[in-house]
Amino acid sequence: MKRALSIMPTPEDMEQSNTRQISRRLYEGVKLVVGLGNPGSQYEDSRHNVGFRVVDILSARHGIRLGEYRFSSLIGYGKIAGSDVVVAKPLTYMNRSGLAVDTMVDWYNVDPSDVLIILDDVALEQGMLRLRTKGSDGGHNGLKSIIRVLGTEEIPRLRVGIGKPNPTMDMTTHVLDRFDKEELPIIKEAFTRAADAVSVWIEHGIDQAMNEFNC
């Protein structure tokens, strides 16, 4: 019978084999959900941190505690729709997200097709969702880092629209700024739908998730 999984192997496991063999046995078939953002209170609730917010909502909904610091990330483990899932918030800062994701993919022995990256997108109207199985980074530095380190563009991603800046604001200020009060109802609904989309991806696959949530 397959033993219940945990984030860390037991001391007994460590004695039986090397850590990579252990991880590949324990985490077979796991799904990896990664929300992108920047650590630190100055970035909390910023437009660039929507990936963090979606992961927080998803974790709370399914009773997953983001309490383990590993792979330069906050990690949580649980089940969603009967599937083993690891959720993560890389704390490397956005431009180095690929370093954290690469170590997680290796440790958990996850194929890139079983990884879902959640990120913000200025090219999408605020509140819109867009799921894709693969593609370029679209100018997003976090996704660019992940694609570069993993060596493939075939990584599923869920983009959450944050809209373009107004003509008087530069792009960096826009993405690092917090949402305006009048924007919050739209973006909070988008966070909820994004968490729903992740659950559908886990249970039914990317095609059904795209059919239900791409607009």
Answer whether residue 14 is part of any domain.
no
Give the chain's radius of gyration (CA, Å). 17
pLDDT confidence of residue 148: 97
Evaluate whether 105 touches 156 at the Cβ level (below 8 Å).
no
How far is Cα 34 from Cα 21, in angstroms, rounded to an integer? 23
Evaluate whether 161 touches 130 at the Cβ level (below 8 Å).
yes
Answer whether residue 207 is part of any domain.
yes
Answer whether residue 60 is part of any domain.
yes
Answer whether residue 93 is part of any domain.
yes
State the chain's mean pLDDT as an integer: 90
* Residue with more model confidence, 15 or 151: 151
pLDDT confidence of residue 170: 87
Cβ-Cβ contacts under 8 Å for 215 (sequence gap 6 or more): 128, 129
Q: pLDDT tier at 3 (50, 70, 90 boundaries)?
A: very low
Tens-place pLDDT, residues 166-200: 888 888 888 999 999 999 999 999 999 999 999 99
Answer whether residue 80 is part of any domain.
yes
Share of the chain above pLDDT 70, in %: 87
Share of the chain above pLDDT 90, in %: 80
Number of folded domains that form the chain:
1
Residue type, 75: I
pLDDT at 15 over 60: no
Question: Coil, strand or helix: which one is 157?
Answer: strand
Answer whether residue 120 is part of any domain.
yes
- Neighbour order of strands in the sheet with 31-35: 68-70, 73-80, 83-90, 31-35, 115-121, 157-161, 129-132
Domain that holds residue 168: 30-213
Q: Which one from 48, 62, 140, 204 is the annotated catalytic residue?
A: 48
Tens-place pLDDT, residues 40-99: 999 999 999 999 999 999 999 999 999 999 999 999 999 999 999 999 999 999 999 999
Q: pLDDT tier at 1 (50, 70, 90 boundaries)?
A: very low
The residue among 149, 36, 34 whose CA lies nearest residue 93 is: 36
Per the listing, tokens 């004695």 go with 15
Q: pLDDT tier at 102 (50, 70, 90 boundaries)?
A: very high
Evaluate whether 137 touches 97 at the Cβ level (below 8 Å).
no
pLDDT confidence of residue 105: 95
Q: pLDDT tier at 20 (50, 70, 90 boundaries)?
A: low
Answer whether residue 8 is part of any domain.
no
Instruction: Output the domain CATH number for residue 94.
Output: 3.40.50.1470
Active site annotation includes 62: no
Answer whether residue 11 is part of any domain.
no
